[in-house]
Amino acid sequence: MRLIIFGPPGAGKGTQAKLLSSHLSIPHLSTGEILRSKQQDKDNLALKLKKIMSTGQLVSDEILNEIVSKKILSNKCKKGFILDGYPRTLKQLNYLDLFLVNKKVNLDIILNLQLNEETIENRLVERSKIENREDDSNDTILTRIITYNTETRPIIEFYKRKYPKIFFELNGEQKIENIQSEIIKILRKC
Ligand code: AMP
């Protein structure tokens, strides 16, 4: 099964994707997590990533396209994958679309977790206290929300229009377990 999960920062898409990954035994491809782990390498790329990510801006499309396409082609993703955090820009969307067509891979389900802006801000402020994530600091929260609204929302609209039968909206304000059980119900229907 091949899924994409969308949602604003703080919507809990990582949490839902992890639960789903163990439920379906398919890898969770979180581009945010992959990039955070690349920051530990202490090379030039790591420094570049740190600088971009700590300000809440997006890393270049070329880097993301290469990372994701390699992962999708890997053996681990043969039975499927859950994409979390990608595609996030029009260039990434176009790249992924063409890549999947060329590789004859179909998407099965697209999920979108919805959250109002006040909840997004509150959750990111809370998360910055707990996880100590650099990009959850007050200065960058606004940049991340603006970037999401301008770059990523149009991508979600594209998928909603292109794949109405496999596109599902979920209320991200609910408890973690309620959202997960709604997702599982959707999986059963598809
Ligand atoms: P996330 O954990 O998904 O919120 O991602 C954390 C940060 O990683 C983002 O604010 C971006 O700087 C970077 N990032 C993650 N995914 C992407 C992507 N698809 N395109 C560009 N930058 C990304």
Per-residue pLDDT tens for 169-183?
999 999 999 999 999
Other beta carbons within 10 Å of 165: 7
Residue 7, domain CATH: 3.40.50.300
Task: Please report which confidence band the pLDDT of residue 49 belongs to, taking 50, 70 and 90 as the band edges.
Answer: very high
Which protein residue's CA is at the shortest distance from atom 5 of ligand 1? 32
User: For residue 92, which atom of ligand 1 is closest to its CA?
Assistant: 19
Q: Are 187 and 121 in contact (CB under 8 A)?
A: no
Strand residues in the chain grouped as ranges (E): 2-6, 28-30, 81-84, 109-114, 167-171
Structural domain containing residue 76: 2-189
How many domains is the chain partitioned into structurally? 1
Task: Please report which confidence band the pLDDT of residue 185 belongs to, taking 50, 70 and 90 as the band edges.
Answer: very high
96 ligand 1 Cβ < 6 A: no
User: For residue 49, which atom of ligand 1 is closest to its CA?
Assistant: 12
What pTM did the predictor assign?
0.94
Mean residue pLDDT of the chain comes to: 94
Q: Is the pLDDT of residue 137 over 80?
A: no
Pocket test for ligand 1, best of 18, 29, 30, 31 (most atoms within 8 A of CB): 31
Cα(189) to ligand 1 centroid in Å equals: 31
